[in-house]
Structure 1
Amino acid sequence: MIKIKTLEEIELMRESALIVSKTLGMLASEVKPGVTTLKLDSMAETFIRDHGGVPGFLGLYDFPNSLCMSPNAQVVHGIPNSTPLMEGDIISIDCGVLKNGFYGDHAYTFEVGEVDAETKKLLQVSKESLYVGIREFKVGNRVGDVGYAIQQYTESHGYGVVRELVGHGLGREMHEDPEMPNYGKRGRGKKFVEGMVVAIEPMINLGTRRIKQLKDGWTILTADNKPSAHFEHDVAIIDGKPELLSTFAYIYEALGIESDEEAEFRQKALVL
């Protein structure tokens, strides 16, 4: 059952989402060759708690850490470890926060040093597809409209769209209805209404869409061991239109990147 949120609840969710955003922004300047994902995980947990939140992933379904850290061919759900990141790696950092009874949950795929052109394009197109999908999250549209838009955009570049893992509703639970696939048919699935909040998260592979799982029971990899990209935002429907609750602005500020990609999804300017 889809749980509709009041404006007051959405504002509480924005608080949770922005702690995630600030955490990813803090990590942005720390993602570099030689650092371990376990170190980044520890930094994130401390930061989240210092900002009045609780790590949303830690212990969820028995997950052992605060961040899902998925480098290169790992798609999602990678477990932090003591292996140092290397020049040319990419890494998806997925973070969740619980505050005031509501979750925030979003992700960004970072470049580690200099990344090759083919992988850089994968990241660019995958992030662009996130906003292509968000545009379809509005009153009167359906789940399939978002999935169709993401699928068409990414497959037109020759990439594989993961089928087995999807976005989701968000609220007092980390995973609520509806499921939000990154593929689909227009006009299919549940209809979007005012007050819905979802996490939209394209998981896009450079090669095949097929995946496999490690014996740890968590880590998902591409079947052909080619790189995968993952970007995620929390989005609410307010006044019939998509409104971002999360932001990549803290990441861009840390990395010196100028971008107006989020402007159309904010009814009022974000104050950093």
Structure 2
Amino acid sequence: MIEIKTRQEIEQMKPAGRFVGAILKQLRGMAKPGVNLLELDDYVKGQIESRKGAESCYVDYAPDFGTGPFAHYICLSVNDAVLHGVPFDYTLKDGDLLSMDLAISVDGWVGDSAISLVVGDRKDPEDLRLIKATEDALQAGIAAARSGNRLGDISAAVGDVAHANGYSVNVEFGGHGVGHVMHGDPMVPNDGSAHHGFKLRPGLVIAIEPWFMAGTDEIFQDPKDGWTLRSTDGSRGAHTEHTIAITEGDPVILTARDE
């Protein structure tokens, strides 16, 4: 069921969004060569445990697209991994492409956001182009998220940026409704037909999350952890996401990182 929030409820969602945004901003600065993924996961755990009313949306999360309950506080996907990356004993290297996806509930309301970056100084121009494409697609999707438009307008805006950059789009996983739960209705595919789908209205809160891979739109689930989604051809992936609220005017980014 698609939930429509009141203005008061959107205000109540803002602390969770700010908290998620602030943690991702800190993690961006922490993600350097020599840092272990488990250190980043532990940092998020500490931040959640120190915040009154905060709960992880990932720990013990067990949807049908994963294998068993997720046991960590953040999704960390490196290089050919693009979504649902399970933190493990891996030390970041100069030039790694890292995607960080974080969802936290504060006082019963969820904020969900993701960023991608290249670690260290050895930045491959193609990695930077891929990341920028996801960021541009996110901005295009947000710009289309206006009352009176259709859900397909958001999907088409995201897909148009991907195709303009030469990337194909996987629509198995995409954006989604956000509220008291992390993943709610409606699904927001990263490609679609403009002027089609659910009519957008004030109070709809959704996560828009473009994710593209450099050489394919095909993924497989890593059998080692039963969660991490990787490109079938080994090419790199990037992922960017914000939780936004549709209003009577401009959409409000609830997970803004003040960057």
Alignment TM-score, normalising by the size of structure 1 = 0.89
TM-fit CA distance, 1:49: 2.3
Identical-residue share of aligned pairs (%): 37
Aligned to 1:269: none
Does structure 2 retain, via aligned residues, the 8 Å contact 1:71–1:91? yes
Q: Map 1:203-218 to 2 at 5 A.
A: 203-215=211-223, 216-218=225-227
Aligned to 2:147: 139
**Local SS of the residue matching 2:251:** strand
Aligned to 1:72: 79
TM-fit CA distance, 1:208: 0.9
TM-fit CA distance, 1:177: 0.8
Q: Deviations along 1:224-251, whole A, 9 cap, x unmatched?
A: 11111100001001224311111132xx
Instruction: For 1:241 and 1:60, locate their aligned partners in 2 and report how far apart those are by CA, in whole Å.
Output: 33
**Local SS of the residue matching 2:238:** strand
TM-fit CA distance, 1:167: 0.6
Q: Map 1:25-44 to 2 at 5 A.
A: 25-44=25-44
In the alignment, does 2:254 pair up with 1:245? Answer: yes
**Local SS of the residue matching 2:192:** coil
Instruction: For 2:208 and 2:171, locate their aligned partners in 1 and report how far apart those are by CA, in whole Å.
Output: 14
Instruction: For 1:231 and 1:164, locate their aligned partners in 2 and report how far apart those are by CA, in whole Å.
Output: 16
Q: Map 1:75-224 to 2 at 5 A.
A: 75-114=82-121, 115-215=123-223, 216-224=225-233
Letter aligned with residue 119 of structure 1: D
**Local SS of the residue matching 2:58:** coil
Letter aligned with residue 220 of structure 1: L
Does structure 1 retain, via aligned residues, the 8 Å contact 2:210–2:240? yes
Q: Deviations along 1:73-127, whole A, 9 cap, x unmatched?
A: 1011010011101100011111111111111111101220121111111111211
Alignment TM-score, normalising by the size of structure 2 = 0.94
Letter aligned with residue 59 of structure 2: L
Aligned to 2:4: 4
Instruction: For 2:165 and 2:112, locate their aligned partners in 1 and report how far apart those are by CA, in whole Å.
Output: 27
Structure 2 gaps of 5+ residues are: 63-68
Instruction: For 1:111 and 1:248, locate their aligned partners in 2 and report how far apart those are by CA, in whole Å.
Output: 18
Q: What RMSD, in angstroms, separates the aligned Cα atoms of the two structures?
A: 1.1
**Local SS of the residue matching 1:238:** coil
Does structure 2 retain, via aligned residues, the 8 Å contact 1:74–1:220? yes
Instruction: For 2:29 and 2:250, locate their aligned partners in 1 and report how far apart those are by CA, in whole Å.
Output: 33
Letter aligned with residue 243 of structure 2: D
Structure 1 gaps of 5+ residues are: 253-272
Aligned to 1:57: 58
**Local SS of the residue matching 2:215:** coil
Aligned to 1:24: 24
Moved over 6 A (4+): none
Instruction: For 2:251 and 2:192, locate their aligned partners in 1 and report how far apart those are by CA, in whole Å.
Output: 19
Letter aligned with residue 230 of structure 1: H
Letter aligned with residue 76 of structure 1: L
Letter aligned with residue 143 of structure 2: R
